[in-house]
Structure 1
Amino acid sequence: MEFRSEYADVALVDLPIHEAVLGRAAEFGDRPALIDGLDGRTISYAELVLAVDRLAASFADSGVCKGDVLALISPNTIAFPVVFYAATRAGATVTTVHPLCTADELAKQLGDCDARWIVTVSPLLGQVREAAEKVGCVREIVVCDRAEGCRSVQDMIGFAGPAPDVCIDPARDLAALPYSSGTTGVPKGVMLTHRSIATNLAQLDELVPSRPGQVVLAVLPFFHIYGLTALMNAPLRRGATVVVLPRFDVGQFLSAIEKYQVNGVYVAPPIVLALAKHPAATGYDLSSLEYVVSAAAPLDAGLAAACARRLGLPPIMQGYGMTELSPCATIWPLSTVHNAPPGSVGRLVAGTELRIVSLDGDGRDLGAGEEGEIVLRGPQVMKGYLGRPDETAAMIDPAGWLRTGDIGSVDEQGWLYVVDRVKELIKYKGYQVAPAELEAVLLAHEAIADAAVVGVRDADGEEIPKAYVVRQVADSGVGTLSEGDVMEYVAGRVAPYKKVRRVEFVDSVPRAASGKLLRRELRHREREMERVLGREMEGRSG
């Protein structure tokens, strides 16, 4: 059975992303487009367009041209959108990078996509230079602020040359190249065309519309496809004001809502948890809020309700998607916020089709109320994985259906529920952590004979990486590696959000005869342990 969005199809948006977003900016003129939530600096729509055109001209004069890849590695700043749109205006594809990545991780991404240009901020310059030296393909590093030996975006915006006239094919040319692990394996470049990103914005119009004068708070990172779409492209396309914060801090977050009379907030479950439990998360005037949307990872319905009650918020909406979907597939329509079923991740956005496929391996389509793998099709589906045709074919079939690796069901009214994951990917605080990447790090340790990584739940219900480690037996016959040794070793080689947070030493990890790691057996073991502990706790409380 195929489920189809109840909303009318939208026309494909065949415009470059900078035109799709800023094409109406002249209508908004002196309205504030971007506000720095810490110091109040403001960029109007007129100033934003002028800055984008001048920076694009400077990029082009420097040699940036169509087909080049520009890496943008920065926390949220009001300069981030300027750089992103200027790069695409010059014909480049932007690969966004987590600012907490290590030099080795950055080098892998730069080398994989052959990035020729990097734009960053001065505090990250050390690791960026180290990574650039490792790969050798980078022509120039530019900073948004100031740093010795680097050109500054602030100065480049003063360039007086003409904006470049680049012929872009929205259906084929790439606007963004974020990295995702997909359903399994190591991070891969997700090829998102101008058309797929711009059309996904149009698909959201009827469900969560933005408007001129509306104020949206951007605390989720722009480098993540969720933040790039929900907090940058979507509101700027409709004349809203985006208040930018570099990171989540309970006090700063709530103070900004109160000070700037924020109407819309997009969050991830860890933020909902903090708002529900942090002692400082009370006493603020949040009456301006019209909606709160949570996505990037599953949100427990009870936690969502508790957070809304504590802070006097409207019901917390949910959405569902993935990088490979540009990213949105479902969301609660704003018009249904007070009667949407708790725990649902919403209804299909316009022009999107969905199937629930049997997990038995027979490819059979299931009906309403039955659980299986979620498979989606629509104009927002990625072009594919960069340089990985086999992984692309495994993800998208010839008819355009994309396998999500998630298990879910659809009720009779068309609401989607996500209940589990087929894929091996770990979602820690909304960020993707690839087990295979951590296993590669672990296996490089001379005292580790074998290792496997799975996601487990901590005391707060957050999914964290747990490593099963087989010690390499020393000459003395005893392996001396400790849990702390393992965690410290991994922490020194990966971004902080990827750290192993629990370690168990075992005699062996389960593998098939082919050598393939059987993570499902470890996940089953973890579930059994949780059940036993749960029964013991119930017995003690009784």
Structure 2
Amino acid sequence: MFTSPYPDVEIPEATLYEYLFGGLSPEDLKRIALVDGTSGAETTYGELVARIDATAGWLAEHEAGPGTTIGLFCPNVPAFAIVFHGILRAGAAVTTINALYTAEEAGKQLADAGATWLFTVSPFRDRAEAAAQAAGIPPEQLVVLDGGDAASAAGHPNLADMLAADLPAPDLSIDPHAAAVVPYSSGTSGTPKGVLLSQYNLVANVAQARALLGVTHDDVLLAVLPFFHIYGMTVLLNLAFRERARLVTMPKFDLAEFLRITQDHRCSYLFIAPPIAVALAKHPLVEKYDLSSVRAALSGAAPLDGELGHAVSARLGCTMLQGYGMTELSPVSHLIPLDAADRVPLDSVGYTVPNTECRLLDPATDEELEIPADGVSEPGQLLVRGPQVMLGYLNRPDATAATIDPDGFLRTGDIATVGSDGVVTIVDRLKELIKYKGYQIAPAELEALLLTHPQVADAAVIGIRADDGEEVPKAFVVRQGDAELGDEGVMEFVAEHVAPYKRVRFVEFVEAIPKSASGKILRRELRGRGQG
């Protein structure tokens, strides 16, 4: 077993609202908390807290409090922050929905999470209405945050009216250890599952990451990583507020807009995923903007190549960092600290964060590996234990038991090494998950969808490397009888039912899917068939 080289930090028994906003000073209240990157509209910390309280008051008035789960289907706009924290302030739970989801996918998540309310924005209204209807959510409990007369005519409340009611936040005793946030993750394999995170989990992870990241109240953070994803939720939305930093929101990634916002708002700390790193390192458009304000950038959500990271650092003149985690870990378990970037390899994920213990297990035997006094350990599956570990999967006790062992260690499904200096490097993964541009794609989800096609007898999906280096889904399909289904038919069918990032990019028709005696797909045999 190995632990963090950093001393434990204090983690208060507090709600997220108390931890983030309870210590605001009069000077803090005047500071800018949020800037809408598109319009430039600013929200101070004082205004933010007042709007969070008013949202909580409105929800309490409508009996949406403890015991209620509320869906949040919204891009990165200031209203997300208000509603997210307003829901938790009211004692309800929130399930955040991927902004790219189809109505079908969103409806499934709402139903699985048991959500009885949904908050969205007008560009998502058609999908939200269909998803809400599928999940049995009535129109008066679908809130269109920026909705105008058209939404009101359809019986949908809006944020302006909620805030205008100016109802006081309820006086509640909220258990910080109860499930409060339910993002969805595929875990180490399988279809998406609700991850039960407590307010204490989120408080703990902010406390654990603060000292290593080195964000200050003078920093301006560009929030392009989605708040619905645990990375953006913890490291941007929550940690930035705790540090009294300024968040500039961006609803979706566009390189020119990303560069403009960074330049015009003098952003100093960028949180990105590897595809953005590629653009920053290579795209000629970068040269047209003044990015001299950027002092640091951290990449997460997928592995960052060390050479690519150094190329970004050299081009922007900033310190480049990498972190590691997963939704089930709230999400951060490892980081390259800002003050140690000059001595920690950039192709590693740095050190274990405070208050965290790790083990490495031999992938073949599950025996614990020895941590060497000198040099680097043998590769083993990384297990993590700490206050950031999830409560479990929603309504999935078997999946929870398979992921968290009796001693409280969470199996990450990733293969890592650790050096005698405590530096951890992810070298491979046991997971079946496909990582495309930072998004997780579960092969089992696509396989289940393909099997609903009347001309498909069997199917399997693996990740392969495309020409641009990204991992993309490839489907192996067994046709039904004498069906004449072709590549385009398979890809078009999948595209109709899933978010764009999950689309199948390659298809190969086969006589049979290789399987073990127990019926498990032998993906290794499929990978041996080559790329493309």
User: TM-score when scaled to structure 2?
Assistant: 0.95
Matching residue of 1:325? 329
Matching residue of 1:124? 124
Deviation at 1:276, TM superposition (A): 2.0
One-letter identity of the residue aligned with 2:234: T
Matching residue of 2:258? 253
**Worse-superposed segment, 203-212 or 438-447:** 203-212
Matching residue of 2:84? 84
Matching residue of 1:305? 310
Q: Is 1:373–2:385 an aligned residue pair?
A: no
Q: 1:152 aligns with which of 141, 151, 158?
A: 158
Contact 2:362 2:379 in 1 (8 A): yes
Q: Is 1:424–2:429 an aligned residue pair?
A: no
Deviations 1:215-247 (A, max 9, x none): 111001000000001111001111100011111
Contact 1:191 1:386 in 2 (8 A): yes
Contact 2:221 2:270 in 1 (8 A): yes
Contact 2:322 2:346 in 1 (8 A): no
Contact 1:25 1:49 in 2 (8 A): no
Q: Is 1:278–2:283 an aligned residue pair?
A: yes
Q: Is 1:22–2:30 an aligned residue pair?
A: no
One-letter identity of the residue aligned with 1:404: T
Deviations 1:255-304 (A, max 9, x none): 11111111101000111112222221213221211110000001111222
Q: Is 1:168–2:174 an aligned residue pair?
A: yes
Deviation at 1:175, TM superposition (A): 2.4
Deviation at 1:369, TM superposition (A): 2.5
Return the alpha-carbon distance in structure 2 between the equivalents of residues 366 and 225 of structure 1. Answer: 32
One-letter identity of the residue aligned with 1:393: A
Q: 2:352 aligns with which of 348, 352, 370?
A: 348
Q: Secondary structure of the residue that 1:163 maps to in structure 2?
A: coil
Matching residue of 2:100? 100
Deviation at 1:73, TM superposition (A): 0.3
Deviation at 1:330, TM superposition (A): 0.5
Return the alpha-carbon distance in structure 1 between the equivalents of residues 246 and 265 of structure 2. Answer: 10
Return the alpha-carbon distance in structure 2 between the equivalents of residues 290 and 500 of structure 1. Answer: 38
Q: Secondary structure of the residue that 1:25 maps to in structure 2?
A: coil
Return the alpha-carbon distance in structure 2 between the equivalents of residues 97 and 343 of structure 1. Answer: 31
Matching residue of 1:53? 53
Contact 2:118 2:137 in 1 (8 A): no
Percent sequence identity over aligned pairs: 47
Matching residue of 2:496? 492
How many residues matched?
521
Q: Secondary structure of the residue that 1:76 maps to in structure 2?
A: coil
Contact 1:142 1:151 in 2 (8 A): yes
Q: Secondary structure of the residue that 1:282 maps to in structure 2?
A: helix
Contact 1:13 1:202 in 2 (8 A): no
Q: 2:467 aligns with which of 448, 459, 476?
A: 459
Deviation at 1:137, TM superposition (A): 4.8
One-letter identity of the residue aligned with 1:433: I
Q: Is 1:395–2:403 an aligned residue pair?
A: yes
Deviation at 1:78, TM superposition (A): 0.7
One-letter identity of the residue aligned with 1:522: L
Return the alpha-carbon distance in structure 2 between the equivalents of residues 279 and 489 of structure 1. Answer: 36
Q: Is 1:409–2:413 an aligned residue pair?
A: no
Contact 1:69 1:92 in 2 (8 A): yes
Matching residue of 1:68? 68
Q: 2:196 aligns with which of 191, 198, 204?
A: 191
Contact 1:269 1:297 in 2 (8 A): yes
Matching residue of 2:390? 382
Matching residue of 2:238? 233
Return the alpha-carbon distance in structure 2 between the equivalents of residues 307 and 239 of structure 1. Answer: 27
Return the alpha-carbon distance in structure 1 between the equivalents of residues 77 and 321 of structure 2. Answer: 26
Return the alpha-carbon distance in structure 2 between the equivalents of residues 488 and 277 of structure 1. Answer: 32
Q: Secondary structure of the residue that 1:285 maps to in structure 2?
A: coil
Return the alpha-carbon distance in structure 1 between the equivalents of residues 390 and 80 of structure 2. Answer: 23
Contact 1:425 1:434 in 2 (8 A): yes
Deviations 1:108-133 (A, max 9, x none): 11111110110000121112111222
**Worse-superposed segment, 276-285 or 29-38:** 276-285
Contact 1:55 1:157 in 2 (8 A): yes
One-letter identity of the residue aligned with 1:495: A
Deviations 1:322-347 (A, max 9, x none): 00000000001100122321311111
Matching residue of 2:5? 6
Q: What are the ranges of 5 or more consecutive residues in structure 1 without an aligned counterpart?
A: 534-542
Contact 1:66 1:166 in 2 (8 A): no
Return the alpha-carbon distance in structure 2 between the equivalents of residues 522 and 430 of structure 1. Answer: 23
Return the alpha-carbon distance in structure 1 between the equivalents of residues 456 and 317 of structure 2. Answer: 49
Q: Secondary structure of the residue that 2:428 maps to in structure 1?
A: strand
Contact 2:75 2:251 in 1 (8 A): yes
Q: Is 1:337–2:345 an aligned residue pair?
A: no
Q: Secondary structure of the residue that 1:454 maps to in structure 2?
A: strand
Return the alpha-carbon distance in structure 1 between the equivalents of residues 510 and 245 of structure 2. Answer: 54
**Worse-superposed segment, 481-490 or 98-107:** 98-107
One-letter identity of the residue aligned with 1:294: S
Q: Secondary structure of the residue that 1:105 maps to in structure 2?
A: helix
Q: Is 1:141–2:142 an aligned residue pair?
A: yes
Return the alpha-carbon distance in structure 1 between the equivalents of residues 273 and 12 of structure 2. Answer: 28
Deviations 1:12-44 (A, max 9, x none): 331111221122234401110000111100000
Return the alpha-carbon distance in structure 1 between the equivalents of residues 489 and 272 of structure 2. Answer: 34
Contact 1:366 1:372 in 2 (8 A): no
Return the alpha-carbon distance in structure 1 between the equivalents of residues 8 and 346 of structure 2. Answer: 27
Q: What are the ranges of 5 or more consecutive residues in structure 2 without an aligned counterpart?
A: none
Return the alpha-carbon distance in structure 2 between the equivalents of residues 514 and 338 of structure 1. Answer: 49
**Worse-superposed segment, 124-133 or 232-241:** 124-133
Contact 1:196 1:326 in 2 (8 A): yes
One-letter identity of the residue aligned with 2:386: G
Matching residue of 1:507? 511
Return the alpha-carbon distance in structure 1 between the equivalents of residues 2 and 144 of structure 2. Answer: 47
Deviation at 1:491, TM superposition (A): 0.1
Contact 2:319 2:338 in 1 (8 A): no
Q: Secondary structure of the residue that 1:243 maps to in structure 2?
A: strand
One-letter identity of the residue aligned with 2:220: V
**Worse-superposed segment, 353-362 or 51-60:** 353-362
Matching residue of 2:449? 441
Matching residue of 2:521? 517
Contact 1:24 1:237 in 2 (8 A): no
Q: Secondary structure of the residue that 1:382 maps to in structure 2?
A: coil
One-letter identity of the residue aligned with 1:72: L
Return the alpha-carbon distance in structure 1 between the equivalents of residues 505 and 100 of structure 2. Answer: 17
Q: Secondary structure of the residue that 1:456 maps to in structure 2?
A: strand
Return the alpha-carbon distance in structure 1 between the equivalents of residues 321 and 103 of structure 2. Answer: 37
Matching residue of 1:34? 34
Matching residue of 1:537? none
One-letter identity of the residue aligned with 1:246: P
Matching residue of 1:536? none
Return the alpha-carbon distance in structure 2 between the equivalents of residues 88 and 290 of structure 1. Answer: 33
**Worse-superposed segment, 461-470 or 144-153:** 144-153
